[in-house]
Chains A and B, each alone.
Chain A
Amino acid sequence: MTKTFYGTSLSSPLMLGTAQYPSPAILADAFARSKASVATVSLRREASTNKAGQDFWQLVQSLNVKILPNTAGCHSVKEAVTTAHMAREVFNTSWIKLEVIGEEDTLQPDIFGLVDAARILIEDGFQVFPYTTEDLVVADKLVSLGCEVLMPWGAPIGSGMGLNNVFGLRALRAHFPEIPLVIDAGLGLPSQAAQAMELGMDAILLNTAVAKAGNPAQMAEAFAKAIDAGQLAASAVPMEPRDLACPSTPLFGQAELS
């Protein structure tokens, strides 16, 4: 059963970021070939207030996908909350991908600030998509505050390392079977996205892996195919791994050719 994201069904489990592409034309191409259903937009970098960034905003609108504004680059609760409010006004949506960065080198989430900011924003009527770790306790706090989606990292943002803690992600999946889980950050290759879908994740959020590829549009298509494959595999009920070999043809009745 496909889960909804705050009541919205997505036509594809791929969410694609809009930063770092060589050109807007290539960005548009990448979206077309990825069949992404959601575009994340950073308000901080591509300012959309007043006159600034109008062209970029028009381009994003023309992609014809759902917009998920994010608070990328915010380092404090106050900054994130202010950015979220600006984003709601500019993009006319109550969706917000909440990022509160806690550490400069790994860009890992400040989970304390994240929980505080999520509480404030949910009270303000936002539908929060929190960028978090695979930590079950934090996830539980976020869900009890009213987050209906969780976005655990695969690996540090832009690192391309894939799923660093498969055990943790599997536990998260098992603990929150009803909550849509989106792997956000750290993927570099389509096979890693396929792996995430095989683990039963509901969606994938990418940016650098596509935007910084030599051919972004082609990489976007590769991810789309991998995500399809992973999703198909997950719903096909994969076999269980085992320690011993299990011959795929029966040994009994083999001809004895001695």
Chain B
Amino acid sequence: MAKPDISRVTLVGAGVAGLTIATELVSRGIIPQIIDRAPEPGPQSCSWWAGGMLAPYCESESAEEPVVRLGSKAADWWQKHTQLVHRKGTLVLAMPRDRAELRRFAQLTSAFQPVNEAQINALEPDLENRFTQGLYYADEAHLAPRHAIQTLRQQLAEKGVHFMVDDADIAALATEGTVIDCRGTKARPDVHGLRGVKGEMLILKCPELQFQRPIRLLHPRIPLYIVPRGDGVFMLGATQIESEASSHPTVRSVMALLNAAYAISPCFAEADILEIGVDSRPAFSNNLPQIHRCGNVIRANGLYRHGFLLAPALAEMVANYLIHNEEPEWLTINPES
């Protein structure tokens, strides 16, 4: 297929996929325009509800090989472009009766060291000796996703990227140049094989607790992660339900998340619930992203629960494809629709 026309590039969708691709294009000298339905980042976008964990090794428990290989570069990318990355690792814990979960997790992942009660307390004193066994993934990192999105937007605007608020007509735009469709789940009608995976999450304020790093609590029924956002704010996530109905969180899910948080620290009983979020993550059947090329339209989608982890790799692939015609590993030309 012909090399894409790079004289006029329009990105549709200003979530983590759109903004990382725009950043990669700008760093290669292409100034795209970005169209989104919303004037600013907000709860309409999956990226708003992201955990912001840059945790390729933990994710390899259930994710395929590229997630580790490509995700391990994410922390450097985000640090370079936002300076918002906390490199404090990830702590994985289980209640004493769920030790089997810890053994399973250790077997399926890499780049960790087992930690005992004293080591856990040295890492997170506020756990107050409630956990005696865990795994520590020192090379992992996290960031505040909303802050990171805002930072990218601001930098792009400063470099001349024009943001437009509109319901983009992709077919019409494609007659005038290259369109990169980064709409996530909203692109479902146009993207073959894309499905929605519902996620529910909570944002709590609990000033008496200080955690340095994401904590994952393994549990056979309700796995949970807690990501510190600073100032006593914590993000709790996330359910995974094969359903694209994203309008409301269920009582069952919220109870499960809160129960698990309470198991990590009883202090959460007194926390304020700042937000309850729900959204639908875009995913393909192997839960890895794909790049589809149909004429002048390039669709980058399917980041699933790995938005911030895999968006830099996806963005680099799209940019190199556009400019150097380098065929990325996730590319499909003219997929069935």
CA distance A56 to B244 in the complex (A): 10
Flag whether A102 is at the interface (Cβ < 8 A). no
Instruction: Tell me if B243 and A53 are in contact (CB < 8 A).
Output: yes
Within 8 A of B (CB), among A1-46: 22-26, 28, 45-46
Most buried by B among A25, A53, A55, A158: A55
Instruction: Tell me if A45 and B196 are in contact (CB < 8 A).
Output: no
Residues of B within 8 A of A47 (CB): 241, 243, 245
Q: Mark B73-105, 1 if CB is under 8 A from A, else 0.
A: 000000000000000000000000000000010
CA distance A51 to B220 in the complex (A): 28
Q: Mark A157-180, 1 if CB is under 8 A from B, else 0.
A: 010000000000000000000000
Flag whether B176 is at the interface (Cβ < 8 A). no
Q: Mark B228-245, 1 if CB is under 8 A from A, else 0.
A: 000000000000011111
Q: Mark A42-82, 1 if CB is under 8 A from B, else 0.
A: 00011100111111100100000000000000000000000
Chain A: number of interface residues, binned into ranges: 20 to 34
Q: Determine how close the nearest CB of chain A comes to the CB of B308; give it in whole angstroms.
A: 19
Flag whether B6 is at the interface (Cβ < 8 A). no
Instruction: Tell me if B287 and A23 are in contact (CB < 8 A).
Output: yes
CA distance A212 to B195 in the complex (A): 22
Flag whether B7 is at the interface (Cβ < 8 A). no
A22-B63, A24-B195, A28-B285 known; A54 vs B241 contact (CB < 8 Å): no
Residues of B within 8 A of A53 (CB): 242-245
CA distance A47 to B196 in the complex (A): 12
Instruction: Tell me if B195 and A23 are in contact (CB < 8 A).
Output: no
Instruction: Tell me if B108 and A214 are in contact (CB < 8 A).
Output: yes
CA distance A155 to B169 in the complex (A): 56
Cβ-defined partner of A56 (8 Å) among B104, B107, B220, B242: B242
Instruction: Tell me if A56 and B286 are in contact (CB < 8 A).
Output: no
Instruction: Tell me if B220 and A23 are in contact (CB < 8 A).
Output: no
Residues of B within 8 A of A24 (CB): 195, 242, 285-287
Complex A-B: 8 CB contacts under 8 Å? A22-B62, A24-B285, A28-B285, A45-B241, A47-B241, A56-B195, A56-B242, A158-B220
